């Protein structure tokens, strides 16, 4: 499997200009990526290339290419780079929705920027549909794995034993051992397609931030529901507020389809088009309510 995937796994080096109080200086960092098309499109994490002024993509056959950012999406932490190359070996995507906890997976990437080729680690799927909070924001629907994800192999592929990409390595938990996270291929694939075609991702906006109902939150707010999304913040000029939804309300369904957690809520929400009118079922002070919300474009 490693021999099969090595030809399309890339290491990425980035040079950024850091503006200091007294003088500016150059910072160098590294990450990983993988080729997704023969004509030179390479996927990595958005945080790997954010703010970079010089990006180089290094492929296993020994060639290095200057890269430009074709598009980036901060919400999912995905970026697509473009290099001037043709006839490249490229990755194929597997169906992450078919993963089960306990399945074997492999991470491949430029861990710690070590010389001598990519670092390979074997592990299992430890959890699915995870939500984590980071300094870059909140991320949903992630694959949790105990296969090593270290500094430098962010943006590299998480692959199954058929050599297919089922995730994009994204984050590790520094305070824990054997806990890393990857963006699922089912989430990433349409984002990548949109970034290649349009250079950006067009999403509908409902105008709220939510978090999963947990036993602790349910007890604190004295909720009568055990599943759903608690509204934790919202914009007063957003569609949800205008429709009557408020902070502390618990959203349980969109168009009669259950939204038991934030990942499912966002998956449902982002399947709609700008201007669609959706029916949101929610609880306000433990009373069931329904609101009609017209979605607008996310900035």
pLDDT in tens, 97-125: 999 999 999 999 876 555 667 889 999 99
Map residue 150 onto helix, strand or coil.
coil
pLDDT in tens, 272-289: 889 999 999 999 999 999
pLDDT of residue 115: 63
Residues carrying an active site annotation: 47, 77, 154
Nearest to 74 by CA among 158, 157, 183: 183
Planar angle of CA 257, 260, 264, nearest 5 degrees? 70
Q: What percent of the chain has pLDDT over 70?
A: 91
pLDDT of residue 220: 84
Handedness of CA 141, 144, 150, 153 (dihedral sign): negative
pLDDT in tens, 26-50: 556 788 999 999 999 999 999 889 8
pLDDT of residue 177: 66
Residue 273: partners with Cβ closer than 8 Å, 6 or more residues away: 204, 295
Q: Which residue has the tokens 């074709």?
A: 70
Can you give the pTM of this predicted structure? Answer: 0.78
């Amino acid at each position: 499997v490693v021999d099969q995937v090595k030809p399309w796994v890339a290491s990425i080096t980035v040079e950024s200009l850091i503006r200091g109080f007294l003088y500016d200086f150059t910072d160098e960092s590294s990450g990983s990526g993988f080729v997704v098309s023969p004509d030179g499109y390479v996927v990595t994490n958005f945080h790997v290339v954010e703010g970079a002024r010089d990006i180089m993509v290094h492929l296993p056959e020994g060639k290095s290419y200057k890269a430009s950012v074709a598009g980036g999406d901060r919400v999912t932490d995905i970026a697509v780079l473009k290099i001037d190359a043709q006839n490249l070996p490229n990755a194929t995507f597997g169906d992450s929705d078919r993963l089960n906890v306990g399945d074997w997976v492999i991470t491949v990437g430029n861990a710690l920027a070590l010389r001598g080729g990519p670092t390979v680690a074997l592990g299992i799927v430890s959890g699915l549909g995870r939500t984590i909070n980071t300094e870059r924001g909140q991320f949903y629907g992630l694959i949790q794995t105990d296969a090593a994800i270290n500094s430098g192999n962010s943006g590299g592929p998480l692959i199954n034993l058929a050599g297919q990409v089922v995730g994009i390595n994204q984050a590790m938990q520094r305070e824990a051992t054997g806990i890393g996270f990857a963006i699922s291929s089912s989430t990433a694939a349409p984002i990548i397609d949109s970034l290649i075609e349009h250079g950006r991702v067009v999403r509908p906006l409902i105008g709220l931030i939510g978090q999963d109902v947990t036993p602790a939150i349910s007890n604190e707010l004295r909720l009568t529901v055990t599943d759903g999304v608690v509204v934790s913040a919202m914009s007063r000029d957003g569609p949800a507020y205008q429709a009557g939804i408020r902070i502390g309300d618990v959203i349980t369904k969109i168009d009669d389809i259950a939204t038991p957690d934030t990942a499912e809520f966002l998956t449902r929400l982002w399947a709609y088009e700008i201007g669609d009118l959706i029916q949101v079922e929610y609880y306000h002070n433990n009373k069931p309510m329904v609101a009609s919300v017209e979605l607008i474009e996310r900035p």
